[in-house]
Amino acid sequence: MRGVAIAREVSRSIRDCQLTHLARHPIDLERARRQHIGYITALTESGWEVLNLPEEPELPDSVFVEDTAVVLDGLAVLTHPGSESRRPEVKSIAIALSTLLPVASISSSAILDGGDVLVAGRRVFVGMSSRSNHAGASELAELAKPLGYEVEVVTVTSCLHLKSAVTAIDSDTLLINPKWVSPNLFEGYKHVEVHPDEPDGANCVDLGGTVLYGDAYPKTKRRIQAAGFDVTAIAMDELAKAEGAATCCSLLIPISFRSLV
Ligand code: GLY
């Protein structure tokens, strides 16, 4: 067992989701739910025990659990999401996380979405987006520092979250769209760049042993494979209409992170 993954079923109100950079297109709820089941199955088959919380009918974006917390080695930090409509999502995640890790919170005077926080080894990058600000990054830094993490603030453009532009393939390799975030900010890591035809393809999940990835980006997938990684590609295009990607749908708590409970 690699650890516990927290997820949540797709809300029946997902059609009313927040959209920042995408035009609104009808979302087929049943198709989105089938894709979410495919996601959960991929996690399970990769050795993760999935805690799939029941849907929140009144919270359209609540399948995107990533934004509600930042998971560190020995601490979960509950966020104060930048979008007011998403703040009620945190409560049930707090209950689930508190069974696994000590929990702390970002205050209501700051904003932070988990999608803006990239943890790669002991470095934590926080993207300044419409959903996260310097106060949020600063509070996260205070909480993370005693655990040995360094927090760095980075500029990101043209996308919702930092992790729309860059994610970790493993602890020292990043998948990156250089048009949305500067690769120079990530010295010390190996980089795999998205194919220019696939700007939305920078979001993947390191499941340990395989990389979970949307099947809409075959050219970038080949680049990840060429860098030596196994890729598990799944359909996520219906969920992508709600401006969510692979990392958005889970909070991963590796078994080693639970040692302080
Ligand atoms: N629809 C995802 C978000 O805007 O947070």
> Which 3 state secondary structure label does DSSP give 79?
coil
pLDDT recorded at residue 137: 99
Query: Other C-beta atoms within 10 Å of 187: how many?
Result: 7
pLDDT recorded at residue 261: 43
Is 161 an active-site residue? yes
Ligand 1 midpoint to CA 229 (Å): 29
Protein residue with least CA distance to atom 3, ligand 1: 18
CA distance 115 to 162: 6
Residue 112 pLDDT exceeds 90: yes
Ligand 1 midpoint to CA 17 (Å): 6
From the list 163, 174, 172, the residue with the least C-alpha distance to 223 is: 174
pLDDT recorded at residue 260: 43
Residue 242 pLDDT exceeds 70: yes
**pLDDT, tens digit, for every residue of 31-78?**
999 999 999 999 999 999 999 999 999 999 999 999 999 999 999 999
Residue 258 pLDDT exceeds 90: no
Residue 244 pLDDT exceeds 70: yes
Ligand 1 site, residue 242, Cβ cutoff 6 A: yes
Are 115 and 68 contacting, i.e. CB atoms less than 8 angstroms apart?
Answer: no
- Read off the pLDDT of each residue in 116-133 and give the average, rounded to a whole number: 98
> Nearest 10 degrees: CA dihedral of 254, 143, 52, 174?
-60
From the list 154, 207, 141, the residue with the least C-alpha distance to 181 is: 154
pLDDT recorded at residue 3: 97
**Which numeric CATH code is attached to 3-255?**
3.75.10.10
Ligand 1 site, residue 238, Cβ cutoff 6 A: no
Ligand 1 site, residue 249, Cβ cutoff 6 A: no
CA angle 30, 207, 161 (to 5 degrees): 70
Are 151 and 126 contacting, i.e. CB atoms less than 8 angstroms apart?
Answer: yes
Residue 236 pLDDT exceeds 80: yes
- Read off the pLDDT of each residue in 201-216 and give the average, rounded to a whole number: 98
CA distance 36 to 40: 6
CA distance 61 to 16: 8
Residue 130 pLDDT exceeds 60: yes
The pLDDT mean for the chain works out to 97
> Nearest 10 degrees: CA dihedral of 247, 252, 254, 260?
130
- 107: exposed, middle or buried (Cβ count in 10 Å: 0-12, 13-18, 19+): exposed
Q: What are phi and psi of 244, to 5 degrees?
A: -130, 155
pLDDT recorded at residue 135: 98
- Read off the pLDDT of each residue in 166-188 and give the average, rounded to a whole number: 98
pLDDT recorded at residue 185: 98
pLDDT recorded at residue 259: 53
pLDDT class of 212 with cuts at 50, 70, 90: very high
Residue-range domain boundaries for the chain: 3-255
**pLDDT, tens digit, for every residue of 146-166?**
999 999 999 999 999 999 999
